[in-house]
Structures are given as C-alpha cells and as structure tokens.
C-alpha cells in the first residue's frame, strides 16, 4: 500500500512544522497498531507511507485492511492536546504470484494512490488495467498539452444561459475544448489550464463590452486544484487589470464537492475573489454534502442545479422534489438558481412552475465558438419560448 496524507501542506501552513512532525509520528503509531503482526510499515518521504503485507492468501485480506485503515482515520488524532482529522488516500497493489517486480508494484501502488486522490481523497483504490490505461492516457495528454497553447489547439466555446421568465440571454458559460490531432477532447479528459481560460474569457468580455448594448456575464469553471494555488487571486487581479473588464461581468463556478476538500481554505479564497468584484456560483449543486451553514457564510450569488436532477425531472418524483427544495432554499437565502442540462419543453415548463431563474442546455443553445455566440447576442438577445 502506498499511503499519502491528504492536505498535509495546509496543516503545516496553519499549525507549523513542529506540529506537523508530531502529527506524522502519531499517524505512524496508529498505522503500526492497525496492520497485522508481521506486516511492515515505513515512512517513505514527507507525508507518504508504505505498508508491505506478506503472505496474502486472498486479495480480500488486503482490501479489508485498507478499509480498516481508512475507517480508523475518520477518528481524530490528538496532537499537543488538540484534535486533528487526518484522512488518507491509499493505493493498493497485489503481487501476481511473485512475478511482479518491486519496482512495478511501487509504480502501481503510486498510480492507484493518485487515482484515490482524483476520486475525492479519504479512501483506497486497487490498481487494475483501467488505471494502467488512464495513466498512459494522462501521460499522452500531458505531453500533448505542452504544445497545445503554442499550436493554438485550445479553444473556448460559449453556451448561453437564458432567463426563464423574460426569455433573454443573461449570461454564457465558457467551456474549454482541446482540438488535438483533429479530434475534440473534452475537459473531463484533461486538466483545464485555469489562468489561460480566465484570460481568454476576459478578452472575450472586453470585446463584448465594446460591441454589445446588453452585456451578458461569462461564467468560468474554477477547479479544486486552482483553489489551492497560492497566487490565484493575485493572478486574477492582474488579468482583470490587463484586460480592463468589469469584474461584475465575470462569474466563477466552483463545484460543491470542491468546497469539501478544505472548507476553511475554500472560504478564504472565495471571499478574496469576491472582493475583486467577481461573482461566485456553486456548480453541480445537490451532488455534494455541503452544509447550509457553510453555504450561508459564502459570498455566493447563484446555485446551479446539477443536470442529474434535470434529466428525469418530469418522470422521477424524487428529482422534482429535490429540485423544488433547492430552488426554494436558494430564494430564501437570496440566491439565483440556474438549471443545467435542460433539453425539452417539459423540463422548461416544470422549472418555470418552480420559479427557477435561469436555464442552460440544448433546448435553447449548444456551446458555440466566439464568432457564433457573438452573432447570436448581436442579432437576437431575446429567444423564443
């Protein structure tokens, strides 16, 4: 098992290195007490540990041990009379009848650990062929992305957002696309280049502010990884200054699950971004577990209802109930609501009856390139219902 402590840098930054060292000692002691007699626990480097389990007769033994370790770390650790929660991401690999080399096992466990990180941390992942394929794909993508901007392979497309009551376009969402070797690569496959996206969207807005009478906002996705960037707010300010756009015309979307990685850190970053004049929206709302107290303390202007609720909105009663509850709660908090993935008239009418504010989806518009969306905004700012 390759084990990595989640968000250890934040613990060091907030409590100091001595506190962090004592936490690592406490984690080591807990791991030693959790494994079987004869198993080996070692600290690899920094906040990384390795557990070697010998004489495994069945893979279920190792997965049960991984479960035991993960569950044990849901309990706080006492350091300097202070309780600290320290979750772990674990990559697990099993030798193939002794034919797998130590180097291969180490590489596999490391890759599986990173897969556990990508799936939200605080868990374990066993190495398999899917991870091998994913790792190769990530390597190919990383190599390709090095020249993507230089070769002008990255493009933004824009999907209009429509006010459900006035049938006017109130905003657009900027979506990143990569045309690589003649094929369109979606953002679910590669890591978005955050600053490039933000700058390109601001350049688009600068043109719209000059050309359009009624300027829609542009919303841009902010990844969990970007939230951890120490100079994020400074870079955003520099880009706003360079392009001269009105920050009120920019909305940053952060997923609900991204808020859970480090609530304290996310709150500080979001508040700092909001102080630049940029509005904040919570994307994919309803898919995470953020508390109402957290939501009420954030400078959020909009909730975006995840498309998973809209897909079966008129055929699945629970989807209807949850969507209605989200809209009522948001309005009580003084927030606007945008429903994502609206594709038909029935969904539109149901959302209109629920008094949803805005909709986004193929019913009105697909994502289109800059020239096309600019023509749409110039020719017909209102759409037919």
* One domain, residues 174 and 83: no
As a whole number of angstroms, the distance between CA 235 and CA 199 comes to 10
The model's pLDDT over 132-166, given as tens digits with 9 standing for 90+, comes to 776 676 666 667 777 777 788 888 999 999 999 88
* One domain, residues 109 and 59: yes
Owning domain of residue 79: 2-127
* One domain, residues 195 and 344: yes
Dump strand ranges (E) for the chain: 2-5, 40-45, 48-52, 77-79, 82-84, 88-92, 123-126, 154-163, 169-180, 183-185, 217-222, 250-255, 279-285, 302-305, 336-340, 358-360
The model's pLDDT over 208-265, given as tens digits with 9 standing for 90+, comes to 999 998 899 999 998 777 877 788 999 999 999 999 999 999 999 988 766 655 667 7
- 40 occurs within a structural domain: yes
Q: Give residue 92's pLDDT.
A: 92
Contact 373, 185 (CB under 8 A): no
* One domain, residues 187 and 257: yes
Count of structural domains, the chain: 2
* One domain, residues 122 and 161: no
CATH number of the domain that 29 lies in? Answer: 3.30.70.270
* One domain, residues 167 and 290: yes
- 224 occurs within a structural domain: yes
* One domain, residues 118 and 182: no
- 141 occurs within a structural domain: no
* One domain, residues 109 and 156: no
Q: State the CB neighbour count (10 A cutoff) for residue 10.
A: 15
Q: Give residue 191's pLDDT.
A: 55
- 307 occurs within a structural domain: yes
- 132 occurs within a structural domain: no
* One domain, residues 88 and 216: no
Per-residue pLDDT of the chain (385 residues; tens, 9 = 90+): 999 998 787 787 778 889 999 999 999 999 999 999 989 999 998 899 999 988 887 778 888 999 999 999 988 898 888 888 888 999 999 887 766 788 888 888 888 888 888 777 888 998 887 777 766 766 666 677 777 777 888 889 999 999 998 889 999 999 988 877 777 766 656 655 788 899 999 999 999 999 998 899 999 998 777 877 788 999 999 999 999 999 999 999 988 766 655 667 778 888 999 999 999 998 878 665 555 666 777 889 999 998 889 988 988 898 899 999 999 999 998 999 999 999 999 999 999 999 999 999 999 999 999 999 999 998 765 565 5
* One domain, residues 238 and 270: yes
Choose the final residue of a domain: 127, 161, 185.
127
Q: Give residue 138's pLDDT.
A: 67
Q: Give residue 260's pLDDT.
A: 58
- 39 occurs within a structural domain: yes
* One domain, residues 105 and 160: no
Q: Give residue 315's pLDDT.
A: 86
CATH number of the domain that 264 lies in? Answer: 3.20.20.450
* One domain, residues 104 and 175: no
- 136 occurs within a structural domain: no
pTM for the full predicted model:
0.67
- 269 occurs within a structural domain: yes
């Amino acid at each position: 098992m390759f084990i990595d402590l989640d968000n250890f840098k934040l613990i060091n930054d907030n409590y100091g290195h001595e506190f962090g060292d004592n936490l690592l000692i406490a984690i080591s002691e807990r791991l030693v007490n959790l494994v079987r007699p004869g198993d080996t626990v070692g600290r690899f480097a920094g906040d990384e540990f390795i557990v070697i389990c010998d004489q495994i007769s069945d893979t279920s033994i190792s997965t049960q041990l991984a479960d035991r370790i993960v569950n044990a770390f849901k309990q706080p650790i006492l350091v300097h009379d202070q309780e600290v929660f320290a979750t772990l991401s674990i990559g697990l690999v099993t030798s193939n009848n002794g034919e797998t080399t130590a180097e291969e096992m180490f590489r596999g466990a490391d890759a599986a650990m990173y897969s556990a990180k990508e799936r939200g941390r605080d868990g374990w992942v066993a190495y398999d062929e899917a991870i091998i394929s994913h790792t190769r794909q990530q390597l190919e993508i990383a190599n390709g992305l090095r020249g993507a901007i230089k070769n002008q392979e990255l493009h933004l497309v824009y999907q209009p957002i429509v006010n459900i009551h006035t049938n006017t376009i109130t905003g657009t969402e900027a979506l990143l696309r990569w045309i690589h070797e003649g094929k369109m690569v979606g953002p679910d496959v590669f890591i978005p280049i955050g600053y490039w996206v933000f700058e390109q969207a601001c350049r688009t807005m600068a043109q719209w502010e000059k050309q359009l009478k009624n300027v829609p906002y542009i919303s841009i996705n902010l990844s969990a990884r970007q939230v951890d960037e120490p100079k994020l707010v400074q870079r955003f300010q520099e880009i706003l200054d360079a392009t001269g756009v009105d920050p009120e015309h920019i909305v940053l979307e952060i997923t609900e699950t991204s808020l859970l990685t480090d609530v304290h850190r996310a709150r500080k970053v979001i508040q700092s971004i909001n102080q630049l004049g940029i509005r904040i929206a919570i994307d994919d709302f309803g898919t995470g577990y953020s508390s109402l107290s957290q939501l009420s303390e954030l400078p959020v202007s909009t909730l975006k209802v995840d498309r998973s609720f809209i897909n079966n909105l008129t055929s699945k009663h629970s989807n209807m109930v949850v969507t209605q509850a989200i809209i009522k709660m948001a309005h009580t908090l003084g927030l606007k609501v945008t429903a994502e993935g609206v594709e038909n008239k029935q969904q539109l009418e149901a959302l209109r009856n629920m008094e949803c504010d805005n909709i986004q989806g193929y019913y009105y518009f697909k994502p289109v390139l800059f020239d096309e969306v600019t023509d749409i905004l110039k020719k017909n700012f209102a759409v037919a219902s």
